Amino acid sequence: MKTTHLKEVNIVFILMFLISFISFSQERDTSKTSCCTIAYNSKKTGNIEIYSSDKTGTSSIKSTHEKGGYAAWSPDGERIAFYAKYDDKKTWSIHTMNSDGTNRKRLTHAKNKWDNAPDWSPDGKKIVFAREYKDSEGVWHPEIWIMNADGSNQTQIKSLKGSNPYFTPDGKKIVFSWEFEDKSSAISIADLDGRNIARLTHNNGKEWHPEVSSDGKKIAFMSDRGGNFEIYVMDIDGTHQKQLTHSAIDDWYPSWSPDGTQIIFSNATGKDKKDRTIYVMNADGTGIRKLIDHGSQAEWLKTTK
């Protein structure tokens, strides 16, 4: 009888240990997925560098010690794409690195051209980016290019003239800012091969940085149609456009939270308006609060590991 009782006690003890171990492992996994879900730029060191932060804005890790900006997460959160400047800022090139700043690779090498605004395809196999430059006659060329994630097979999408390309969640289309000769721009959408272009906004101002929500139903973007840049949102077909911010200073670079309930953005602060602060708000524009000081161009990781 005593032996049987001891066996029962041992079994209970083992079960309690296993339950505690599983709970501990889940907590560790949760903490890993909640950490470093926002990438952003900062000039804390004097150079534009890339940092990562958790969703509360309370922890930040510098991911590169070299000049670089406009960070974009890979879908699995393992890597970041960004641009860095060379040749006294005359050449901008697309790079990738691990999310901890290691394994840095330069992917584009076009001299005297500005390669910027990279975005990953949903399967992580492609990167789309903008290329801008002046030709020998001083004419400005805004182009959109696509390449494999390792930098191979770089191809211009020749029918598209613009900047800030961003994949739709199905990977079949990109939204972008169509650039016109009069310096105005419009948020547009097209097939990945450049066909079936549709203009979504129709204003005379500058409209940049479109980003599609994870469910593919909404686009957040910035526009100066009212005099200064504010954050707007609209349906994927361009309908139901709504202004979310109403600030006396420019609001820039909206990015959706993974569940589509919040948007982060940055605005200019300080006496010279060159310092940036990152804010977060609900997707309807309510509940605006400061998230990160001295940061800009924030990008929210759309999926958790």
Q: What is the pLDDT of residues 170-217, one digit of tens each?
A: 999 999 999 998 889 999 999 999 999 999 999 989 999 999 999 999
Same domain, 145 and 282: yes
Q: How confident is the model at residue 276 (pLDDT cuts 50, 70, 90)?
A: confident
Which pair of structure tokens corresponds to residue 154?
């770089």
Residue 235 lies in a domain: yes
Q: Give the residue carrying structure tokens 């930040």.
A: 60
Torsional sign, CA 42, 44, 47, 49: negative
Over 70: is that where the pLDDT of 304 sits? no
Q: The domain containing residue 125 runs over which residues?
A: 38-300
Q: How far is 106 from 37, CA to CA, in rounded Å?
A: 23
- Strand partners of residue 146: 128, 155
Same domain membership, residue 139 and residue 113: yes
- What pLDDT is attached to residue 14? 43
CA nearest 187: which of 237, 118, 139, 227? 237
Identify the residue with better confidence: 305 or 246: 246
The residues facing 140 across adjacent strands are 134
Residue 22 has a pLDDT of 38
The helix, strand and coil proportions of the chain, stated in percent and rounded to the nearest 5, come to: 10, 45, 45
Shared domain check, 95 and 15: no
**C-beta pairs of 237-240 under 8 Å, 24+ apart in sequence:** 237/198, 237/200, 238/187, 238/198, 238/199, 238/200, 238/201
Least confident of 35-39, 62-66, 74-78, 188-192: 62-66
Joined together, the tokens standing for residue 149 give: 């994630």
Residues 67 and 130 in one domain: yes
**10 plus 97 within the same structural domain:** no
DSSP lists the bridge partners of residue 38 as 53, 300
Q: Does residue 137 sit within a domain?
A: yes
Q: Are strands 275-282 and 38-42 parallel, antiparallel or unpaired?
A: unpaired
Is 29 in the same domain as 78?
Answer: no
Domain check: are 15 and 156 in the same one? no
> Domain of 205: which CATH number?
2.120.10.30
Task: Give this prediction's pTM.
Answer: 0.86
pLDDT tens-digit readout, 210-234: 999 999 999 999 999 999 999 999 9
**Cα–Cα distance for residue pair 120/155, rounded to 1 Å:** 15
- Report the first-to-last Cα separation within the chain, whole angstroms: 49
Question: How many domains is the chain built from?
Answer: 2
Residue 211 located in a structural domain: yes
**What is the pLDDT confidence band of residue 31, given thresholds at 50, 70 and 90?**
very low
Q: Which of the four pLDDT bands, split at 50, 70 and 90, describes residue 272?
A: low
Euclidean distance between CA atoms 281 and 224, whole angstroms: 19
Residue 174 lies in a domain: yes
pLDDT digits over 68-126, tens only? 789 999 999 999 999 999 999 999 999 999 998 899 999 999 999 999 999 999 999 99
CA distance 281 to 249: 17
Residues 134 and 16 reside in one and the same domain: no
- Same domain? For 13 and 45 the reply is no
Antiparallel, parallel or unpaired: β 49-53 and 38-42: antiparallel
Q: Say if residue 29 is in the same domain as residue 110.
A: no
Residue 274 lies in a domain: yes
Closest C-alpha among 169, 166, 199 to residue 184: 199
Q: Would the CA dihedral through 294, 209, 146, 178 be positive or negative?
A: negative
Distance CA(253)–CA(56), nearest Å, equals 18
Q: Residue 105: inside a domain, yes or no?
A: yes
Distance of CA 285 to the CA centre of its chain: 19
Q: Is residue 74 part of a domain?
A: yes
Please calculate the CA angle 75-76-77 and round it to the nearest 5 degrees: 95
Chain center to CA of 149: 16
Burial of 263 by CB count in 10 Å (0-12 exposed, 13-18 middle, 19+ buried)? Answer: buried
Query: Does some domain include residue 305?
Result: no
Q: Is residue 69 domain-shared with residue 18, that is, in the same domain?
A: no
Calpha distance 89→193 (Å, rounded)? 31
Judgement on whether residues 44 and 14 belong to the same structural domain of the protein: no
